[in-house]
Amino acid sequence: MLPIFDGLRDITTLTVLVRLLMAILLGGAIGMERSYKNRPAGFRTHILVCVGATIACMTGIYLYLNMKLPTDISRLGAQVVSGLGFIGGGTIIVVNNRKIKGLTTAAGLWACGIIGLAIGAGFFEGAIVGTALVLVAQIVFTYLGSKITHHEAFKILLHYNDKNALNYVMRYCKDNKMVISNLEVTGKRDSVAPIYSVVLTVRPRNKIDKKKVIRYISDIEGIIEADTVN
């Protein structure tokens, strides 16, 4: 531990003030990055989470050391950790094509609360290093993550009258490194022969030509019609 912080580890009026100011500083640093990217939980939210967690941790220590109450020091902190899940859940939304947004912000809020607990406990070294690593993850790793190539999933609507046709389509997808992440039966129509309808959500691992895939699937025996859907 750094000796520079040794005089700030006890619970006094000065150390309480210092810890709350540090919570504002470190929480605000994480929140500024989120506000800059126009995320739902930004500057003020991260400060409030960090300050609240700091106060909760210090309260547990105060009740045990100063008030001499038979309480568990870590109990309030544990409740903060679980309570942050509800706050983070409010930042997660599902947008078009079932894409999930807000997970990074939710994780940042959770980490910000943990940093607040570290500040409240007097673990200043961990709080400072933790904040630096969170900022690195949100700023530097965002750039690195954008360089990772990935291929968007797409949906294929199939109409077929032979149950084996679906097995052939699934085998074709597997052989061409396309993962079927969802299969949804949309209906069954009775005419001269039963006609089945299904929607496949396909996620390719390599770059593919969707039109070529549809043409191949359309030529499979038993397939009446195949097309992509939004």
CATH number for the domain spanning 178: value is 3.30.70.260
Closest to 182 (Cα-Cα) out of 170, 194, 191 = 170
Read off the pLDDT of each residue in 160-170 and give the average, rounded to a whole number.
88
**88-108 per-position pLDDT tens digit:** 887 777 766 567 778 888 899
DSSP for 106-148 reads HHHHHHHHHHHHHHHTT-HHHHHHHHHHHHHHHHHHHHHHHTS
CA 198 to the chain's CA centroid: 30
Q: Is the pLDDT of residue 120 over 90?
A: yes
Closest to 112 (Cα-Cα) out of 38, 36, 26, 32 = 26
Q: Is the pLDDT of residue 67 over 90?
A: no
Q: What pLDDT is stored for residue 98 in this prediction?
A: 62
Strand boundaries in the chain, DSSP class E: 93-94, 100-101, 154-160, 178-190, 194-204, 223-229
Examine the domain organization and report whether 14 and 86 are in the same domain: yes
201: its two tokens: 């959500």
Domain count, the chain: 2
Q: Are 176 and 203 in contact (CB under 8 A)?
A: no
Examine the domain organization and report whether 158 and 127 are in the same domain: no
Q: Are 160 and 193 in contact (CB under 8 A)?
A: no
Q: Which residues contact 64 (CB under 8 A, 6 or more apart)?
A: 71, 72, 73
Q: What pLDDT is stored for residue 188 in this prediction?
A: 67
Q: Is the pLDDT of residue 50 over 90?
A: yes
Examine the domain organization and report whether 102 and 171 are in the same domain: no
Examine the domain organization and report whether 20 and 126 are in the same domain: yes
Query: At CA 24, angle to CA 23 and CA 25, rounded to 5?
Result: 90
Examine the domain organization and report whether 116 and 213 are in the same domain: no
Examine the domain organization and report whether 178 and 119 are in the same domain: no
186: its two tokens: 């949309």
Q: What pLDDT is stored for residue 114 in this prediction?
A: 95
pTM over 0.75: no
Which residue has better confidence, 210 or 150? 210
Q: What pLDDT is stored for residue 16 in this prediction?
A: 93
Which residue has better confidence, 103 or 130? 130
Q: How many alpha carbons fall within 13 Å on the CB side of residue 206?
A: 8
Examine the domain organization and report whether 11 and 60 are in the same domain: yes
Examine the domain organization and report whether 132 and 162 are in the same domain: no
Segments forming the whole domain that contains residue 177 = 154-229
Examine the domain organization and report whether 14 and 81 are in the same domain: yes
In sequence order, what are the beta bridge partners of 22?
none
- Range in 48-57, 105-114, 181-190, 199-208 with the lowest mean pLDDT: 181-190
Q: Of 146, 173, 199, which one is at a domain's C-terminal end?
A: 146
Cβ neighbourhood burial of 35 (10 Å; 0-12, 13-18, 19+) = middle
Closest to 220 (Cα-Cα) out of 180, 174, 179, 160 = 160
Q: Of 128, 146, 164, which one is at a domain's C-terminal end?
A: 146
Examine the domain organization and report whether 120 and 165 are in the same domain: no
Torsion over CA: 139, 45, 37, 203 (sign): positive
Examine the domain organization and report whether 118 and 172 are in the same domain: no
Closest to 222 (Cα-Cα) out of 162, 141, 175 = 162
Read off the pLDDT of each residue in 19-43 and give the average, rounded to a whole number.
89
Examine the domain organization and report whether 158 and 142 are in the same domain: no
Q: What pLDDT is stored for residue 86 in this prediction?
A: 81
Read off the pLDDT of each residue in 74-86 and give the average, rounded to a whole number.
85
Q: What pLDDT is stored for residue 70 in this prediction?
A: 81
Amino acid occupying residue 17: L
Q: Of 98, 119, 146, which one is at a domain's C-terminal end?
A: 146
